[in-house]
Structure 1
Amino acid sequence: MIHARLLDAVGSLAARHARPGHIPLIGVAGAQGSGKTTLARGAAERMGAAHLSLDDVYLTGAERQALAREVHPLFAVRGPPGTHDLDLLERTLASLSAAKTDSRTPLPAFDKLADDRAPRTDWPVFAGRPAAMLVDGWCLGATPQAEADLAAPINALEAEQDGEGRWRRAANAALAGPYAEVFARFDAVLFLKAPSFDAVLDWRCEQEAGLMGLPPAELPPARRAELAVFIQHFERITRHMLAGGVRADITITLDRQRHPFSP
């Protein structure tokens, strides 16, 4: 169940930026497993808003393979800045902004099992003119790091596969350039702040266990180990955001059960 305080926070941001002729664009940011997609989807249903995720606008598999060849092999893995089709996101938002009461706007979709964009015929369609546009994304609102902070690897993945720092510098340059331009167009961003990076692995494992139909405690240790490696792709920027490297209008700290933290 989505906490009412979180739904109210999204609704208040949308109401604050609503005005005649303008559809508010609100971002929901948070680490893997923080509940950002569930929150954005629930808030959209409550408000009559359109919802999409940065996960919906990944580059195609072929496009990421090209990046892997031309820039760095780690860009074959979807998720980090540089692996999204920001033009597709902006075109979709423009279509939603111009929608009329009788409009039908296709919303991009990504097939994670196939690791590729879903066929356009399978995209969901938003009917009418939305009350707001809600976009969730793990790195939404993230600010670029200083060059000095990029020098040393932050984990084993970076040490072993990005020793020279080409991948993390390319992702950082994307954050400083095209991602910053897109993020600046948002009216407001809500950041769901994890209590620590350690919680992210537990949350991601809970997600995986749910997909497998298992209680979290029964997730195979080998799969947990694989997920521990996978989230290293996101560790640098996630830690940066937890330390304040995010532009957000509202930050809500979560406890390990994903409930808003009340000291």
Structure 2
Amino acid sequence: MDIAEILGEWLAGHPPQITDYEKLLAQEKQYPKQALGLGCDLSVAGISVRATEFLAIAPAIIQLCESMKFTDQDAILRTLWELWLPLAMQLRRARQQQDQPLIQGILGGQGTGKTTISRVLREILATWNYPCIAISIDDLYKTYAERQKLLETQPRLIWRGPPGTHDVDTGLEVLTQLQRANLDDKIAVPRFDKSLHNGQGDRLPSEEVDPAEIILFEGWFVGCRPVEPEVFKNAPAPINTSEDRQFAQEMNEALQDYLPLWEKLDRLIVLYPEDYRLSKEWRKDAEHNMIAKGKTGMSDAEIDDFVDYFWRSLHPELFITPLTQNPDWTDLVIEIDAEHRPCKIYRPKTSE
């Protein structure tokens, strides 16, 4: 039996057997980098402990995934066993090893699954009495009025998203409050509605939240660091013109303002497409689905312009690929294949 069949048998009421543990352990040992990255206990005893956790949480996770329109139960069971549950256990251990709430950064673009992984982790951690909240860097956008004012001095910031369009000071204040909160505190967390002002978006009233043990701070360039200006001399497309290079350099300089936010992170996960160009195809798929349902969506040409704008501001090859190779900045890399599935999980290599 494969992994999903073994797990399905357990959920059907057949108690785990030692032979099940041995098969699962043998499978895990085939991917030592993944096991190391997730901190898995490669022993029969470790598999047994995870099995107990799995049986307790699996029904709730299956229900959650169904609410998100995921219907492949075998894939859900495998991903829960191989990634979501070990990752949640790793975060729990990390929280236990420090004296304040854990701030876990999650970098991921369109289609990489950062919303899914955030929701699943929150569900699992809550069952262990580790309350967890998610904050997106999108929640830190400057107000509509502030961004309109910004266009007067930076006319190339035509869409929200790149460095310079966020209120970094508010982000620092909120993360600090969450780190230092007392049990009976309420923390005002900013929230943003992208649908306001014809899709330009605007800040909503803050959400009052209870203190949390673990904070998931996610976004498309969370953790990205400035690079040496020389890289823009031979930058990849669509950084093609002198104006493109100037814009890229300005965004690179603006990243300096975000470094204090990244310093708040205790850990960083990078959700990394095996080919960064997949994000453009995934965006087109999403827009096609919206249009098919009778909703408003962008044309393929508009999507090309939109995604190219973000690649000109912070090109994945220049800003995200280095994160996947630097153990000082990144704790875990989860590569995503063309079907949006995790295909490789590893820690960045330590420099020789």
Query: TM-score w.r.t. structure 2 length?
Result: 0.64
Using the TM superposition, give the Cα deviation of residue 87 of structure 1 relative to its aligned residue in structure 2, in angstroms: 1.0
Q: CA 1:12 to 1:141, structure 2 compared with 1: closer, same or farther past 3 Å? A: same
Q: 1:200 aligns with which of 279, 283, 288?
A: 279
| Corresponding residue for residue 16 of structure 1 | 94
Give CA deviations for 1:132-153 in whole Å, capped at 9, x if unaligned.
Answer: 1110011111122221112356
- Cα distance per residue 1:43-78 (max 9 Å; x no partner): 1233221111001111122222232221x3122311
Alpha-carbon spacing, 1:10–1:82, altered in 2? closer, same or farther (3 Å): farther
Q: How does 1:162-177 map to 2 (within 5 A)?
A: 163=243, 165-175=245-255, 177=256
Give the CA RMSD over aligned residues: 2.8
Structure 1 residue 10, shift from structure 2 partner: 5.0
The equivalent residue for 1:231 is 307
Q: Which of 336, 340, 348 is the equivalent residue of 1:254?
A: 336
Once the two structures are overlaid, the 10-residue window that deviates more, 13-22 or 227-236, is: 13-22
Distance (whole Å) between structure 2 residues aligned to residue 98 and residue 243 of structure 1:
33
**Which of residues 110, 123, 126 in structure 2 aligns to 1:45?**
123
> For 1:179, which of 239, 242, 258 is the aligned residue?
258
Report the Cα distance in structure 2 between the residues aligned to 1:174 and 1:23, rounded to whole angstroms.
28
CA contact (8 A) 1:140 1:183 kept: yes
Larger radius of gyration: 2
User: In 1, distance between residues paired with 2:88 and 2:162?
Assistant: 25
SS in 2 for 1:107: strand
SS at match of 1:118: strand
Structure 1 Cα separation of the partners of residues 332 and 223 of structure 2:
12
Higher helix share: 2
Contact map agreement 1:28 1:192 (CA 8 A) in 2: yes
- The answer for the alignment partner of 1:116 in structure 2 is 201
Write out per-residue CA displacement over residues 114-168 of structure 1, whole angstroms, 9 at most, x where no aligned residue. 2233331xx43323x2121110011111122221112356445x546x6163322
- The list of structure 1 runs, each at least 4 consecutive aligned residues, that deviate by more than 6 angstroms after superposition, is none
Identity %: 25
The 1:12/1:132 distance shift into structure 2, 3 A limit, reads: same
Q: How does 1:1-263 map to 2 (within 5 A)?
A: 1=65, 3-4=79-80, 5-7=82-84, 8-9=86-87, 11-19=89-97, 21-47=99-125, 48-70=131-153, 72-114=154-196, 115-120=200-205, 123-127=206-210, 129-151=211-233, 154-156=236-238, 158-159=239-240, 163=243, 165-175=245-255, 177-212=256-291, 214=293, 223-235=299-311, 236-245=314-323, 247-262=329-344
Count of aligned pairs between the two proteins: 253
Structure 2 contact 95–214 (Cα < 8 Å) conserved = no
Q: TM-score, normalised by structure 1?
A: 0.83
Post-superposition offset of 1:103: 2.8
Cα 1:23–1:212 change in 2 (3 A) is: farther
Q: Which amino acid aligns with 2:276?
A: F
Choose between structure 1 and 2 for higher RCO, CA contacts under 8 A separated by at least 6 residues.
1
Deviation at 1:185, TM superposition (A): 1.9
Does the CA contact (< 8 Å) of 1:44 and 1:50 recur in 2?
Answer: yes
